[in-house]
């Protein structure tokens, strides 16, 4: 692996990752059914107030903006710069599962690192879905993609998201002051990281 960038670009894909509680599937343009932009948007709409508390892009998002975001993630995957997985809660009665949210990976190839971000619709919180999703992505990032570092940035007001990071073995490194403008206010974020050597 003399040239990591070449290796990574060839290896990177939003592969389907299956756990006990969830299945992660790469986002696609013009996908049908539960993975469609229309269904994703309907899920956001039903949890808009809940999601807007910590996600600055939610208040202004409409179906056209969402489709642009999907296109952007598809391009990021194509160029090995990152990807977006849709989170489906496994269902014994529906093989497709219930769409619950998404988890994203922004890659820094030079440093062999990536930043994760995620969201869940309100009705799917408190069920362990995001904890398992982060663990699936972590395993994929270190074992398949050979990344060295993952990080998460979590609003200081978002205790539930910080708890996910801790349950997944991430270590808190400090505070990024005024990191993000949310609902007209600058918000500090807690920075968490996990290294490959912490796990393997």
Q: For position 87, what pLDDT does the model report? A: 98
Question: pLDDT per residue over 11-25, tens digit each?
Answer: 899 999 999 999 999
Q: For position 5, what pLDDT does the model report? A: 85
For the whole model, what pTM was predicted?
Answer: 0.94
Class of domain 4-148: alpha beta
Backbone angles phi, psi at 193, to 5 degrees: -140, 155
Q: Which residue's structure tokens are 């403008």? A: 181
Q: For position 64, what pLDDT does the model report? A: 96
Both tokens assigned to 132:
């398992």
Q: DSSP 3-state assignment of 187?
A: strand
Q: What is the CA 79 to chain-centroid distance, rounded? A: 18
Q: What is the mean pLDDT of residues 6-35?
A: 93
Question: pLDDT per residue over 40-90, tens digit each?
Answer: 999 999 999 999 999 999 998 999 999 999 999 999 998 889 999 999 999
Confidence of residue 2 (pLDDT cuts 50, 70, 90): low
Of 157, 147, 154, 143, the residue nearest 191 (C-alpha): 154
Tell me the Ramachandran region of residue 20: left when phi exceeds 0, alpha when psi lies from -120 to 50, beta otherwise: alpha
In whole angstroms, give the CA distance from residue 5 to residue 114: 14
In whole angstroms, give the CA distance from residue 169 to residue 8: 24
In whole angstroms, give the CA distance from residue 172 to residue 64: 36
Do the Cβ atoms of 89 and 21 come closer than 8 Å? yes
Domain spans of the chain?
4-148
Confidence of residue 94 (pLDDT cuts 50, 70, 90): confident
Do the Cβ atoms of 82 and 21 come closer than 8 Å? no
CB within 8 A of 13, min separation 6: which ones?
26, 77, 83
Q: For position 1, what pLDDT does the model report? A: 47
Question: pLDDT per residue over 146-184, tens digit each?
Answer: 999 999 999 999 999 999 999 999 999 999 999 999 989
- 114 pLDDT higher than 80: yes
């Amino acid at each position: 692996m003399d040239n990591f960038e070449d290796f990574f670009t060839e290896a990177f894909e939003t592969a389907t990752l299956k756990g006990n509680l969830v299945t992660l599937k790469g986002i696609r343009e013009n996908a049908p059914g539960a993975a469609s932009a229309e269904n994703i948007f309907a899920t956001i709409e039903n949890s808009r107030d809940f999601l807007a508390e910590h996600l600055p892009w939610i208040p202004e998002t409409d179906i056209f903006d969402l489709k642009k975001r999907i296109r952007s993630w598809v391009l990021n995957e194509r160029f090995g710069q990152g990807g977006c997985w849709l989170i489906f809660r496994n269902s014994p009665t529906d093989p497709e599962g219930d769409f619950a949210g998404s988890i994203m990976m922004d890659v820094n190839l030079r440093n062999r690192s990536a930043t994760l971000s995620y969201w869940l619709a309100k009705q799917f919180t408190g069920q362990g879905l995001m904890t398992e999703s982060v663990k699936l992505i972590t395993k994929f990032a270190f074992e398949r993609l050979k990344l060295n570092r993952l990080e998460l940035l979590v609003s200081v007001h978002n205790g539930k998201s910080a708890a996910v990071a801790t349950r997944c073995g991430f270590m808190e490194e400090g505070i990024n002051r005024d990191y993000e403008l949310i609902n007209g206010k600058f918000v500090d974020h807690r920075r968490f990281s996990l290294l490959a050597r912490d796990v393997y």
